[in-house]
Chains A and B, each alone.
Chain A
């Protein structure tokens, strides 16, 4: 039987490893939970807004 590690973000927080973002992260085999940290939802929204602005500049 294999199990999968799941990371849960605290209320008002988003998990990230700098590239991907989520409120729950189901880790693949071999991926460490220590690669992930929490940011606030506000910080996440700022990041997304910057990404959209960069995309619209293309």
Chain B
């Protein structure tokens, strides 16, 4: 066989492995890639990677309803997932039409980072959504003025980073989140509605004192005179 023919055969074999891993797309894709890879380690690795990706897609597409809103009540609570197994493909998009959809989603979870946005369904009370969890980072918490927050962050003692998108128009508490960063506290205060009245935001006194001087704090909260601010 000429060199050119050998190279063509190698390329054909690699393509076969790639196609096998891609077409199968499930656990046996690994073995298929391995068995048809021949002497080409790269072909085996490609087949394995493609099979793994296809398996990931199949699971999370089905589990998360292809990103459409769904009921996420208790879904990631307790020991259901770990940092290693929790790799969502889509935002946690809590459906508006079911009352429990945002309740206890990450309650008592050992997950430390939600990795994707958590989106509140319209008119929903987010009860215990992150309560008693080990969560340290919530990259984006998308809220609406129609959302209420009951024990949403209760005992979130590990929480350091949260970015709120939207408008908070009801009581919300981060009383036990003493590790909250300055940027996170700013995000919370900045998200507070400028038009509602009679509401309270609770921030950990320790977090506030670690992040702001008295003057900086006064300047920040001066933007929201319509909110009572409690330091717990």
* Interface positions of A (Cβ within 8 A of B): 2, 4, 15, 19-31, 51-52, 55, 58
Contact = CB atoms under 8 A, between A and B. Distances in A.
A24 B127 CA distance: 25
Best-surrounded residue of B173, B199, B228 (most CB of chain A within 10 A): B228
B230 interface: yes
Please tell me the size bucket of the interface on B.
20 to 34
B205 interface: yes
A22 B227 contact: no
Interface string B207-232: 00000000000100110011111111
Given A30-B197, A58-B127, A25 B205 contact: no
Main secondary structure of the interface of A (DSSP, over half): loop
Contact of A29 (B205, B218, B225): B225
A50 B155 CA distance: 14
B151 interface: yes
A22 B231 contact: yes
Contacts of A2: 222, 225
Contacts, number: 69
Which 7 A/B pairs are nearest by Cβ-Cβ distance?
A22-B230, A26-B229, A24-B231, A28-B228, A20-B200, A22-B232, A29-B225
B190 interface: no
B135 interface: no
Contacts of A19: 171, 200
Given A20-B202, A24-B205, A28-B197, A4 B155 contact: no
B201 to A, nearest CB: 9
B99 to A, nearest CB: 12
B209 to A, nearest CB: 10
24 contacts: A2-B222, A4-B222, A4-B225, A19-B171, A20-B173, A21-B202, A21-B232, A22-B175, A22-B205, A24-B230, A25-B230, A26-B228, A26-B229, A26-B230, A28-B198, A29-B197, A29-B226, A30-B197, A52-B154, A52-B155, A55-B127, A55-B128, A55-B131, A58-B128
Nearest to A16: B230
B228 A20 contact: yes
